[in-house]
Structure 1
């Protein structure tokens, strides 16, 4: 198998990592490697990652006959993300976009051939989103404003000067991509300040009269604001974070903008989020130098290693939940991870949180116990752990009913003690055809279920694996936990860490 490495720009912290002696071939950000797979073949790559870091993996088949798949696992073997077909049936190449790494670890990315196919491929790992749109600073075309701002730009670095009292210098790059959804990362490699007070940052979705700004200052706090003709509107006020070291350089700033949601990173460590829908159009990207002092002073900031990534076109045009996800009982962490992948709405709220509940029935049929006090849900993501305790001689299961109109009109998702699962719509006495299957570990009595209801599509995950999707037009409805007895049987279902994220 041949390999070609092209080392481009990497975040500063990555240079501090050295792979263990027995590691597989290590991937670095913006490296492109080439490989070849025989039928039923696989190859492993090592990925060093930080807690909360967001990365993408993109495979392009170089042979029309190759159908490849990818799986990312942590050092204990848990699946973090998996994909087979980017946009079936038009694109069979796998894509893992905007994967959130749950902890600092050495991960393994396994690339394998599917269905007896074979051929060559290229694999690229990018920070943030999957399409590498821009690196460096271009050949010019940077404009600094207002008066008191100046810029010295080369393809490798930018020196931005702010001279005055409480002055915000902004330099916008004309060659940089104008995008709504993007990931942007830049290193602040040096700061010179007469007063010792300074702030550095990035602007994005800059339309001229308005822009968003992400700023970190010398005291070790960060903020996020909207600037327009009426002035500054603070969206996230100055906030500390343990990852931010006051006054230290160099450091790396990153922002991930997906729709109305924004995530912020310092040295590739996630430091916070915000939601705002004031600017929804594509705009320019820029850098900032700020003099916070009320006295006139001069601050000079040097930036290097700018990277901009944007969404893969296929995944953005036809977004679909990934085939495999990292399972967590933390609902907010799950929401953050999946909204970055365009799988759930960002402008929602945690509408239900039920740490523990239990229900027991002995009669045959689907036995329901309402939750959420009858609140109606349309678009939502629902997660919970269910533990089944039933007479081994019987046939029973645990599940959740949603989009319920009454006791005979609802959608049910469940698993049973034999390892079977299903999701289908009940209308009166009949269940419509839906998602059905058998899980590989049939004897397991505890499962983690995740359901995404987005527009008219329902997607079911069990233990982190997408087991199926279906189309449904039922509309809003209430929720209930369920005991499913296929015959009279004393069955107890314990539900833990149940939560619902809902959006319009």
Structure 2
């Protein structure tokens, strides 16, 4: 399908929700809930900021766009935790706009977060804040207010299932013992990589019920399926040419409260990675590459294995989002949320920094390295193991002295050939990413404009993909260089600009490779 430019989708969403905007505009802009799928228009004077509350659950995925409507406003967008710590922020998401955007924010833990919009410098004017589930561009928005050529597929012949549209809701009903009703339509095509959120307004059943979504459907007999049931369990499977294979059988999850009849179901799909969410909380994931292409999305109602069973569901809204592009280029990732290794890998995959797939190959809770001479000393981690595509993260600290020294991580290390890439932080607050070849550093990115606390611990992340190595410090993107080696070892680095005793502490060092 043809994807409209992101700004046209924002206009479509804005016009579709105009009544909601007026209501939101009438409310105070401080301490107000931000609702995904809606846009909010308001004003900022010079030096002001607006605060919106975002209750969210672990693993949820959101995107936010702040557009200048009029005036000379240059908006700054940030997301903070309840203690006021900035987790992630953005000023201009590309070089040709003043608008701000945060795409694919992955919630690190349950809580209420703060979405803050500030005016840069002495700028002022009106802005529009759009909040979306998943990514920042809408690929499909089905509100069930227009009649479609709904396709109803049942598990047996007869009049035991029906589908109809009324009051902007899709009603699916099925009766019998272990009967299935699947519904889709020709306009419900999705790409291979997307985030989808479905609102289940009500579900009822005699003897129990099962309800869910199908996706990547090709024809009528090949698709993935995600289900939840009345007991508070969930299930995932793949059907290929009519043959079902279970990917994750019925599992309980505390987020799925037994007997709840109104909820949101969401799926995130990229390559062979499938993530399942319930009311915005991540409840499970699987990896499977049976069906990798895009296809239709659909809805499922199942009855249980009991005489006289019936399941009835009302569906209210479906939104499918995809990564936003500026022209033909993806929005660059300038900042990451510093959290656990699992959450950081999830964010890197969701935000397309790394491909889906791979595994955590190493985790070290606490190590240290010491060096007394001038120069760079490397200490191998996972000796005699080489990595091509890899992410290495750690929290580092060391006692600051008047001497200039530093600590860092190494990738693509060729060992005795003395060819490697090192990313490090020095005691003056400078950060650098350098390619070493023999006795010289042949390419270096150095920055001293990142606001780092002094005499503290720092999170450092090196990402080696193909011929490129990227460095993030405290979640902020530092830069990238081209790597000479296609693979190599990984390790820790201690840097002394002059002879002296330097000991670097490395906590929670982890390695993800693919």
* Partner residue, 2:509: 498
How has the CA–CA distance of structure 1 residues 115 and 451 changed in structure 2, closer, same or farther, with 3 Å as cutoff?
farther
Matching of residues 16-95 of structure 1 within 5 Å: 23-37=30-44, 42-62=49-69, 67-86=74-93, 88-95=94-101
- Answering whether residue 186 of structure 2 is matched by residue 186 of structure 1, we say no
- Inter-partner Cα distance in structure 2 for 1:336 and 1:46: 24
Separation of aligned partners in 2, 1:356 and 1:315? 42
Alignment of structure 1 residues 79-478 onto 2, 5 Å: 79-86=86-93, 88-114=94-120, 120-132=126-138, 133-141=140-148, 142-146=150-154, 147=157, 148-154=160-166, 156-194=168-206, 196-208=207-219, 209-293=221-305, 295=306, 297-314=308-325, 318-319=329-330, 322-328=333-339, 330-389=340-399, 392-407=401-416, 408-438=418-448, 439-441=450-452, 443-478=454-489
Cα 1:35–1:247 shift into 2, 3 Å? closer
In structure 1, list runs of 5 or more residues that go unmatched: 10-19
1:274–1:90 Cα change, 3 Å: farther
Cα deviation, 1:445-486, whole Å, max 9, x if unaligned, reads 411112222333332221122222334453111111111111
Measured in 1, the distance between the counterparts of 2:312 and 2:444 equals: 58
Alpha-carbon displacement from aligned partner over 1:251-289 (angstroms, at most 9, x marks no partner): 222212233222211122211112222222221111101
Q: Between 486-495 and 464-473, report the one with greater CA deviation.
A: 464-473
1:56-97, Cα deviation, whole Å (9 max, x unpaired): 1023334596554321111212222222343x3355532211
In the aligned structure 1, how far is the partner of 2:279 from the partner of 2:261?
11
1:355-384 residue CA offsets vs partner (Å, 9 max, x unmatched): 111111111111111111232222222210
Distance 1:140 1:366 in 2: 68
Residues 483 and 103 (structure 1), Cα distance of their counterparts in 2 relative to 1, 3 Å cut: same
Contact 1:417 1:445 in 2 (8 A): no
CA shift digits 1:386-417 (9 cap, x unpaired):
11135x13221111111111242000101122
**C-alpha contact 2:226 2:237 (8 A) present in aligned 1:** yes
| CA spacing shift, 1:393–1:422, aligned 2, 3 Å | same
2:238 partner SS: strand
Counterparts in 2 of 1:92 and 1:139: CA distance versus 1, 3 Å: same
TM-superposition CA deviations, 1:419-452 (whole Å, max 9, x none)? 1111110011111232212243452241111222
RMSD: 2.8
Which runs of 5 or more structure 2 residues have no equivalent in the other structure?
A: 1-13, 22-26
* Superposition TM-score, scaled by structure 1 size: 0.88
Deviation at 1:315, TM superposition (A): 6.7
**Partner secondary structure for residue 443 of structure 2:** coil
Contact kept? 1:163, 1:296, Cα under 8 Å: no
Aligned residues: 486
Q: Is the 8 A contact 1:161 1:298 kept in 2?
A: no
Preserved CA contact (<8 Å) 1:82 1:322: no
Please tell me whether the aligned partners of residues 168 and 316 of structure 2 are also in contact (alpha carbons under 8 angstroms).
yes
- Residues 459 and 315 (structure 1), Cα distance of their counterparts in 2 relative to 1, 3 Å cut: farther
Q: Return the TM-score normalized by structure 2.
A: 0.87
SS at match of 2:348: helix
Q: Could you tell me how far apart the structure 2 residues matched to 1:376 and 1:63 are?
A: 54
Deviates more, 1:75-84 or 1:36-45: 36-45
- Say if 1:98 and 1:128, in contact at 8 Å, map to a contact too: yes
Q: For residue 334 of structure 1, give the secondary structure of its aligned residue in structure 2.
A: helix
Deviates more, 1:311-320 or 1:491-500: 311-320
CA separation in 2, counterparts of 1:424 and 1:170?
Answer: 55
